[in-house]
Structure 1
Amino acid sequence: MKGMTAEQKTSYLNTNKPNLCPCCRSDEIEGGSISIEGKTAIQVCRCTHCSAEWQDTYTLSDITLFQ
């Protein structure tokens, strides 16, 4: 993301509410489709309030088998 400070990135990654824009903290965000590559899922997100765009990256951390 252009212009994202280290503080904004740390705050976004450590918050209990990652559904807020890392730039303006608005909850007016949209998420695009999710692509999965191996154990990683990637989603491009956009804030409709301030027009910031960023990519969320998720990593598989657990599995539960239902049988």
Structure 2
Amino acid sequence: MDLDGQIARYTEYLRAKEEAPEAMTRFLAPFSERLAEKNLRNAISLMTQEERAEFNWLLDLLIEPVRPFTLNTF
């Protein structure tokens, strides 16, 4: 069992969760600049599949509650 690795991954998860609001703002900024009507639906329509995956990952970080640390989860 690699407890140090699991703790490192959990620490990274917590850091990403904390930074998610700013990361989402930075991520959406280029799309917002290209839109006349600035709304999320329009921004999503401009995204590639990879960008949409990153958007979904950031969105999950924003809306999901923090997962508690448990062995073999991270």
Q: Shorter-chain-normalised TM-score: which range?
A: under 0.3
Which of the two has greater strand per residue?
Answer: 1
RCO comparison, higher one (Cα < 8 Å, 6+)? 2
Query: TM (normalized to structure 1)?
Result: 0.26
Q: Which has the larger radius of gyration?
A: 2
Query: TM (normalized to structure 2)?
Result: 0.25
Which of the two has greater helix per residue?
Answer: 2
